[in-house]
Structures are given as C-alpha cells and as structure tokens.
Amino acid sequence: MKGNTITVVGNLTRDPVLKYLTTGRAVTEFTIACNSGSWDRETQAWVDGEASFFKVECWQAMAENVAEGLRKGDPVIVVGRLNRRTYLQGEVTRESWEIKADTIGPDMRKRSVTLRRVLRQSQPVEGQPQVDEQPAPAEDEVVAEAVADLRRLDPPADLAVAS
C-alpha cells in the first residue's frame, strides 16, 4: 500500500451496492459512520460525539464478498487510501471523504461471524503445468472422516472431565 493509508472503524449506513462495469470488473460502494464518544463522569452516562461519514469503494473479488457478506448496521474495519472530494451542491461547496479499500473485515468486538472460503475459477497460466483435479469426496466419506476426527478428541471413558 502506498500513499495515505487510513484505518477506519464504523458501521455500514446502508446495504452495499454491487455493480459490474462494461469491462466485467466488480465494484461495490457503501458508506460507514464512525462515532467517537466519551464517558461523562458528572452524569455517569455515555455521550456520543459527532459522527464522521466515509464513502468506501472496493473492487473485484473483495467487492463481491462485501456485497454478499455485509449488511446495513454491520460493524466493520476498513483499511485503504483516503481521498477528499469537493463538489458544488447548489451554490454551496461541499466535501466528502472517500476510501478506496485495500481490505475490509467485520469488527469482531461487536459480532461473531462464520467465514466461508470462496473458490473462484482461475485461468491457467501459459507455460505452467496443469494439476489434475481430484474429484470431490462423496458426502458419506466426508461425514465418516469428521466423525472419526471427533472420536479421536473424546476423552477415554475412565478419565473424569471437570466442567
């Protein structure tokens, strides 16, 4: 990563929007809100600070994964390059902060997630030897192997286990 790298922690303000360009490249856009706050000792209450909003853009496989896996309200961590864009709205000049994401992940302090590996078709590179693909094991074989693994983890019957 080169340039002005930033890490931002926040929540999605809306569902990610996935689009495909005419070239076939995937791009996803969404906005996150970051809110700092502090504990007020006098009132013994949490006081919200001013929210900052960032438009996030991600590309290719990450764009597809984000669109499939994240929804409005999800807590995320975004690492990328920060850019400021100014624009004219009516007669008022406004600015927005945009992040071109290098990586995005769920904020595990606030959510538990289940990861799923996505296998994508890759194009063979000319000059590289082809690897023969093994057929996927039958479902019965996978289940039998998993049960055998679990049995190996079970403690012996004569061993007491404290809970």
Pair 65, 73: CB distance under 8 Å: no
Given phi > 0 = left and psi -120 to 50 = alpha, else beta, which region is 103? beta
Q: pLDDT digits over 52-111, tens only?
A: 999 999 999 999 999 999 999 999 999 999 999 898 999 999 998 899 999 999 988 877
Q: pLDDT digits over 22-42, tens only?
A: 999 999 999 999 988 788 889
In Å, what is the CA distance from 140 to each residue of 119, 144, 145, 149, 153? 22, 6, 9, 14, 20
- What the chain holds in terms of domains, given with CATH numbers, is 5-112 (2.40.50.140)
Q: pLDDT digits over 14-27, tens only?
A: 999 999 999 999 99
